Chains A and B, each alone.
Chain A
Amino acid sequence: SQQGEEDPQALSIQEGENATMNCSYKTSINNLQWYRQNSGRGLVHLILIRSNEREKHSGRLRVTLDTSKKSSSLLITASRAADTASYFCATAPSGSARQLTFGSGTQLTVLP
């Protein structure tokens, strides 16, 4: 079963605009991670935010976490055509040896 659900399922924007993707989850987590997947490729880790953190930045990426609402958002600023990919949130449950459960993903298309 999928723990996280991303919203929207698909997003199309112009180059230079900001892209925001949201993730909701159901159970208590140790941390939440965002991964990116280019078409036909494996996933690449982008950023990790721990359950006691509220916001984290990495380059053009900004992630927020609201554990009271069990939700997270990923913001990509000043998007580029090369950002076109699928983005997945993945949750690491508290107190479990299982590492990650992935959501269903957001397909981002950045138009040049």
Chain B
Amino acid sequence: EAGVAQSPRYKIIEKRQSVAFWCNPISGHATLYWYQQILGQGPKLLIQFQNNGVVDDSQLPKDRFSAERLKGVDSTLKIQPAKLEDSAVYLCASSLTGLAGITDTQYFGPGTRLTVL
């Protein structure tokens, strides 16, 4: 079974530039998550999709971050414009159902390491 794919693996940009990350979840997984992991910290959920609908985006800085999951499969996360504090690893994960009250194991991709100069 193929895992969660992410690209690019590394990205270096200057502040105020734009950047986009791509994620392809495990086939058949209904729920997709984007996390931000700052060095030395645990992952912080940015947005959770159930199929192509948003379940939780309460921690997404909506003035600069956007995400979409067209057709309920792969997803893109965009930052525009980037700030220095956006330097982090952006992790994508997927799970089979993601429904409230149903326990799901999340499967993570390798992440994209973003450096903002």
B-binding residues in A (CB < 8 A):
2, 4, 30-31, 33, 40-45, 48, 50, 88, 90, 92, 95-105
Query: How many A-B residue contacts, CB cutoff 8 Å?
Result: 69
Give, as a whole number of angstroms, the nearest-CB distance from B37 to chain A. Answer: 9
* Contacting pair A102 B103 (CB below 8 A): no
Bin the interface of chain B by size.
20 to 34
Residues of chain A contacted by B100 (CB below 8 angstroms): 95-97
Residues of chain B contacted by A33 (CB below 8 angstroms): 105
Residue of A nearest to B33 (CB): A99
* Contacting pair A88 B42 (CB below 8 A): yes
* Contacting pair B106 A99 (CB below 8 A): yes
* Most-contacted residue by chain B among A31, A42, A97 (CB, 10 A): A42
A-binding residues in B (CB < 8 A):
4, 31, 33, 35, 40-45, 48, 50, 55-56, 91, 93, 95, 98-101, 103-111, 113
The distance in angstroms between the C-alpha atoms of A97 and B99, with both chains bound, is 6
Give, as a whole number of angstroms, the nearest-CB distance from B21 to chain A. Answer: 13
- Choose one: B31, B40, B45, B103; the contact of A31 (CB below 8 Å): B103
The distance in angstroms between the C-alpha atoms of A2 and B109, with both chains bound, is 21
Residue of B nearest to A93 (CB): B100
- Choose one: A42, A48, A95; the contact of B91 (CB below 8 Å): A42
Residue of B nearest to A48 (CB): B103
| Interface contacts beyond A88-B43, A103-B42: sample of 7 additional A-B pairs, CB < 8 Å, sorted by A | A4-B42, A42-B91, A42-B109, A45-B107, A97-B48, A99-B48, A99-B106
The distance in angstroms between the C-alpha atoms of A68 and B110, with both chains bound, is 36
Give, as a whole number of angstroms, the nearest-CB distance from B38 to chain A. Answer: 10
- Choose one: A42, A98, A103; the contact of B48 (CB below 8 Å): A98
* Contacting pair A99 B105 (CB below 8 A): no
Residues of chain B contacted by A99 (CB below 8 angstroms): 31, 33, 48, 95, 98, 104, 106
